């Protein structure tokens, strides 16, 4: 049988680690093939080898039956391989069309022929049901639309084998439904897809086959119709995974976070948070459910001191923290797992160890007379790496070299370990594998059981329902309902998040 992609016995090493150890991946034409593995298992590395970004130490690659030699991204492109990256590579100020033709501009009479290009972009968009406006500026369109521009970029270059790297991690539930339809349309039109995802539900819904890798080694390839989420998870992690979040009832105590009549403007000076009231008590997890763009980011930035508050007040216990600096808020007992781990979570060129003391480096024992004291810093880091199973060669490795999921685990380790009174967890399990999600959820619940107040913001309604003790629904900058997770469903939450009403529920 001929495969469109046939990667045989690939080996790729990095200093101190074998990221791919004798892996074989074979993709049939017209299928959606899942690539599944724990954080740091080697999925991105394998795809970078396929795309010619890394040269493997061993192994062979055949694309549509032809052996690839001296692979590089240009060769990969010319063979019809396109990559839809997790972190988009688009120019904000450019239009959709300008971004798509970048580096491959059609010309007419010595000038770039934007009009013809825009028509081509429109035609491709129509053919695959992408509904992209060729003239829109990137900065004005949603994350979901930006992703479609990335898809169009590969199609415009003639790709017929598309690699999607965790495409749904950045999308809202509605956008995920639409992306799944787009992927189905792509394969119906003869394309082949490799899908990297941690979401087993998505694999069950859209994939034909699934190749599983664990710690750099191939575990096997299965037909999705012969498997189920439990069997896939067990193959990937090497043990049974408990999908149900185990927790007892909350025993909430005094109020820790008190927000009153909060108003926060967004960058266009429009109120993004508009008269919001919320209280989080010691010993409870409050989950915020809301469609992206209803003021969640501005709310979190206002609490953490990253965004100016225009009206209202925020108290942490009896201390007012309204418009205080991030350092002052942190010193008053806040920990924050930020939603953008690259922008607000890590300094990528610092070592894992240095990243572990980003908020505390100036304190004892990490600093002495204004000079960093590295022994305690790295001792601490080693302990956290062990405890949180952060997969890294060592504490001296730059954070940049860690897989996305392991970067996230490093942040969570740092923030939870500071033992805060109040913990904000924004999209804490984005990009994490099922085993790591189980672990992070248990850590959040442990914090709660130790009497801490936890605010969880997540687009995963399943996570909100399973982990929270109370759910605050956020809509147009306000909390419009407080719901008991035991008495609601994803459907009902979806309705409330869209501005619908629920007779018996009152905001508090
Ligand atoms: N450029 C690099 N330099 C050094 N080590 C690297 C580099 N890229 C990846 N690694 C290491 O190789 C291993 C595999 O990483 P990779 O990013 O392929 O994992 P992944 O399966 O894609 O993980 P995730 O699901 O977390 O994104 C990890 O241990 C990672 O730290």
- Tell the residue nearest (CA) to atom 12 of ligand 1: 19
pLDDT at 109: 80
Distance 229 CA to ligand 1 centre (A): 24
Answer yes or no: do 394 and 365 share one domain: yes
* Residue 413 pLDDT exceeds 90: yes
C-alpha to C-alpha distance for 252 and 451, rounded to whole angstroms: 8
Alpha helix positions (H), 157-255 = 173-188, 200-206, 229-237
Cβ count near 308 (within 10 Å): 12
C-alpha to C-alpha distance for 236 and 213, rounded to whole angstroms: 7
Per-residue pLDDT reduced to its tens digit, 229-242: 999 999 998 877 77
Distance 214 CA to ligand 1 centre (A): 12
C-alpha to C-alpha distance for 52 and 67, rounded to whole angstroms: 13
- Tell the residue nearest (CA) to atom 1 of ligand 1: 401
What dihedral do alpha carbons 200, 201, 203, 207 form, nearest 10°?
160
Answer yes or no: do 292 and 378 share one domain: no
Answer yes or no: do 411 and 460 share one domain: no
Tokens of 394: 């060592």
pLDDT at 506: 45
* Residue 404 pLDDT exceeds 90: no
Of the candidates 477, 35, 4, the one whose C-alpha atom is nearest the C-alpha of residue 236 is 35
Which region, left, alpha or beta, applies to residue 118 given φ > 0 means left and ψ of -120 to 50 means alpha? alpha
Answer yes or no: do 360 and 435 share one domain: no
Distance 216 CA to ligand 1 centre (A): 9
Ligand 1: which atom is nearest the Cα of residue 391? Answer: 29
Choose the residue to mutate in 45, 57, 435 for probing ligand 1, maximizing ligand atoms within 8 Å of C-beta: 45
Average pLDDT (303-321) is 95
* Residue 36 pLDDT exceeds 70: yes
φ/ψ of 456, rounded to 5, equals -110, 125
pLDDT at 64: 95
pLDDT at 1: 59
* Residue 505 pLDDT exceeds 60: no
Rounded alpha-carbon distances, angstroms, from residue 482 to 44, 473, 475, 502:
40, 6, 12, 10
Are residues 295 and 264 in contact, defined by beta-carbon separation less than 8 angstroms?
yes
Of the candidates 17, 23, 51, the one whose C-alpha atom is nearest the C-alpha of residue 36 is 23
H or E stretch including 338?
none
Classify residue 398 by its DSSP letter: B
Domain count, the chain: 3
- Tell the residue nearest (CA) to atom 17 of ligand 1: 403
pLDDT at 412: 92
Classify residue 344 by its DSSP letter: I
Average pLDDT (38-51) is 93
State the CATH number of the domain containing residue 75: 3.40.50.300
Buried-state track 246-281, b at ≥16 Cβ within 10 A, e below 16: ebeebebeeebbbbeebbbbbeeeebbbbebebbbb
Answer yes or no: do 248 and 233 share one domain: no
What percent of the chain has pLDDT above 90? 67
C-alpha to C-alpha distance for 478 and 296, rounded to whole angstroms: 10
pLDDT at 502: 60
Beta bridge partners of 368: 371
Of the candidates 347, 349, 344, the one whose C-alpha atom is nearest the C-alpha of residue 326 is 344
Tokens of 109: 């009479």
What residues make up the domain containing 72? 5-237
Cβ count near 370 (within 10 Å): 6
Answer yes or no: do 45 and 74 share one domain: yes
Mean pLDDT of the chain: 91
Answer yes or no: do 126 and 143 share one domain: yes
- Tell the residue nearest (CA) to atom 6 of ligand 1: 401
Burial class (CB in 10 A: 0-12, 13-18, 19+), 137: middle
pLDDT at 56: 96
Beta bridge partners of 260: 313
pLDDT at 415: 93
Choose the residue to mutate in 16, 44, 408, 439 for probing ligand 1, maximizing ligand atoms within 8 Å of C-beta: 44
CA gyration radius, the chain: 24
Average pLDDT (109-113) is 81
Choose the residue to mutate in 10, 12, 13, 14 for probing ligand 1, maximizing ligand atoms within 8 Å of C-beta: 14
Per-residue pLDDT reduced to its tens digit, 326-373: 999 999 999 999 987 777 888 889 999 998 888 888 888 888 888 888
499 confidence band (pLDDT: 50, 70, 90)? confident
Distance 148 CA to ligand 1 centre (A): 26
pLDDT at 240: 77
Last residue of a domain, one of 176, 203, 237: 237
Distance 15 CA to ligand 1 centre (A): 11
Per-residue pLDDT reduced to its tens digit, 212-229: 999 999 999 999 999 999
Distance 403 CA to ligand 1 centre (A): 4
φ/ψ of 277, rounded to 5, equals -125, 135
Of the candidates 86, 76, 84, the one whose C-alpha atom is nearest the C-alpha of residue 153 is 84
Name the more confident of 107 and 394: 394
C-alpha to C-alpha distance for 295 and 464, rounded to whole angstroms: 17
Each as own residue / partner, the long-range contacts of residues 407-411 (CB below 8 Å, 24 or more positions apart, any chain) are 407/341, 407/345, 407/346, 408/39, 408/341, 408/345, 408/432, 408/436, 409/39, 409/436, 409/440, 410/346, 410/352, 410/355, 410/356, 410/384, 410/385, 411/337, 411/338, 411/341, 411/345, 411/346, 411/355
Distance 17 CA to ligand 1 centre (A): 9
Last residue of a domain, one of 375, 401, 419: 419
Last residue of a domain, one of 419, 447, 468: 419
Rounded alpha-carbon distances, angstroms, from residue 299 to 102, 420, 471:
36, 19, 16
Name the more confident of 111 and 194: 194
Distance 20 CA to ligand 1 centre (A): 9
Choose the residue to mutate in 403, 407, 410 for probing ligand 1, maximizing ligand atoms within 8 Å of C-beta: 403
Per-residue pLDDT reduced to its tens digit, 11-31: 999 988 899 999 999 999 999
Answer yes or no: do 143 and 48 share one domain: yes
- Tell the residue nearest (CA) to atom 29 of ligand 1: 40
Average pLDDT (150-177) is 90
Average pLDDT (44-53) is 94
Ligand 1 first shell, C-beta below 6 A: 14, 17, 19, 37, 39-45, 391-392, 401-406
- Tell the residue nearest (CA) to atom 20 of ligand 1: 40
Distance 240 CA to ligand 1 centre (A): 24
C-alpha to C-alpha distance for 206 and 222, rounded to whole angstroms: 14
Average pLDDT (379-396) is 92
φ/ψ of 16, rounded to 5, equals 85, 0
57 confidence band (pLDDT: 50, 70, 90)? very high
* Residue 503 pLDDT exceeds 80: no
C-alpha to C-alpha distance for 417 and 405, rounded to whole angstroms: 18
ipTM entry = 0.96
Distance 365 CA to ligand 1 centre (A): 32
Answer yes or no: do 61 and 89 share one domain: yes
Average pLDDT (135-151) is 90
46 confidence band (pLDDT: 50, 70, 90)? very high
* Residue 507 pLDDT exceeds 70: no
Ligand 1: which atom is nearest the Cα of residue 15? Answer: 4
Cβ count near 452 (within 10 Å): 23
Are residues 236 and 38 in contact, defined by beta-carbon separation less than 8 angstroms?
yes
Answer yes or no: do 278 and 403 share one domain: no
Classify residue 306 by its DSSP letter: S
CA 161 to chain centre: 23
Ligand 1: which atom is nearest the Cα of residue 216? Answer: 14
Ligand 1: which atom is nearest the Cα of residue 397? Answer: 4
Cβ count near 143 (within 10 Å): 13
Cβ count near 325 (within 10 Å): 12
Answer yes or no: do 322 and 381 share one domain: no
C-alpha to C-alpha distance for 27 and 3, rounded to whole angstroms: 6
258 confidence band (pLDDT: 50, 70, 90)? very high
User: What is the number of residues in the chain?
Assistant: 508
Answer yes or no: do 85 and 196 share one domain: yes
Q: How many helices (H) and strands (E) does the chain have?
A: 16, 24
Cβ count near 51 (within 10 Å): 19
């Amino acid at each position: 049988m001929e495969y469109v992609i046939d990667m045989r016995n690939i080996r790729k090493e990095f200093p101190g680690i074998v990221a791919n150890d004798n892996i074989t991946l074979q993709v049939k034409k017209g299928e959606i093939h899942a690539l599944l593995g724990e954080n740091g298992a080697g999925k991105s590395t394998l795809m970078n080898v396929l795309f010619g970004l890394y040269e493997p130490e061993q192994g062979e690659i055949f694309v549509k039956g032809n052996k690839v030699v001296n692979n590089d991204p240009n060769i990969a492109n010319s063979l019809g391989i396109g990559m839809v990256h997790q972190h988009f590579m688009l120019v904000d100020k450019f239009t959709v069309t300008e971004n798509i033709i970048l580096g491959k501009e059609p010309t007419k009479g010595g000038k770039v022929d934007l009009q013809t290009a825009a028509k081509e972009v429109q035609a491709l968009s129509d053919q695959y049901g992408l509904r992209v406006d060729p003239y829109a500026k990137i900065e004005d369109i949603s994350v979901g639309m930006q992703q479609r521009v990335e898809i169009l970029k590969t199609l415009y270059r003639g790709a017929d084998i598309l690699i999607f790297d965790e495409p749904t991690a950045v999308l809202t539930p509605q956008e995920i439904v639409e992306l799944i339809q787009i992927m189905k349309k792509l394969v119906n039109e003869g394309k082949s897809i490799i899908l990297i995802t941690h979401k087993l539900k998505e694999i069950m819904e859209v994939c034909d086959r699934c190749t599983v890798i664990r710690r750099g080694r191939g575990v096997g390839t299965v037909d999705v119709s012969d498997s189920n989420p439990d069997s896939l998870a067990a193959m990937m992690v090497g043990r049974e995974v408990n999908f149900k979040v185990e927790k007892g009832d909350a025993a909430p105590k005094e109020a820790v976070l008190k927000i009153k009549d909060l108003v926060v403007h967004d960058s266009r000076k429009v109120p993004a948070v508009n008269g919001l009231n919320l209280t989080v008590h010691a010993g409870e997890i409050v989950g915020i459910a809301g469609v992206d763009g209803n003021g969640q980011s501005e709310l979190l930035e206002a609490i953490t001191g990253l965004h100016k508050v225009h009206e209202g007040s925020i108290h942490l216990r009896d201390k007012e923290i309204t418009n205080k600096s991030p350092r002052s808020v942190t010193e008053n007992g806040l920990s924050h797992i930020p939603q953008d781990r690259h922008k607000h979570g890590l300094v990528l060129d610092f070592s894992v160890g240095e990243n572990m003391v980003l908020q505390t480096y100036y304190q004892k024992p990490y600093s002495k007379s204004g000079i960093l004291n590295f022994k305690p810093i790295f001792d601490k880091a080693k302990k956290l790496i062990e405890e949180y199973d952060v997969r890294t060669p060592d504490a001296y490795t730059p954070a940049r070299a860690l897989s996305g999921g392991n970067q996230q685990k490093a942040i969570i380790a740092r923030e939870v370990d500071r033992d805060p009174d109040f913990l904000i967890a924004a999209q804490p399990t984005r990009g994490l594998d099922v085993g790591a999600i189980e672990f992070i959820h248990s850590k959040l619940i442990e914090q709660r059981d130790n009497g801490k107040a936890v605010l969880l913001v997540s687009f995963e309604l399943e996570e909100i329902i399973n982990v929270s003790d109370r759910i605050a629904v956020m809509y147009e900058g306000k909390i419009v309902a407080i719901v008991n997770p035991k008495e609601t469903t994803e459907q009902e939450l979806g309705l409330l998040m869209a501005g619908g009403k629920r007779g018996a529920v009152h905001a508090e």
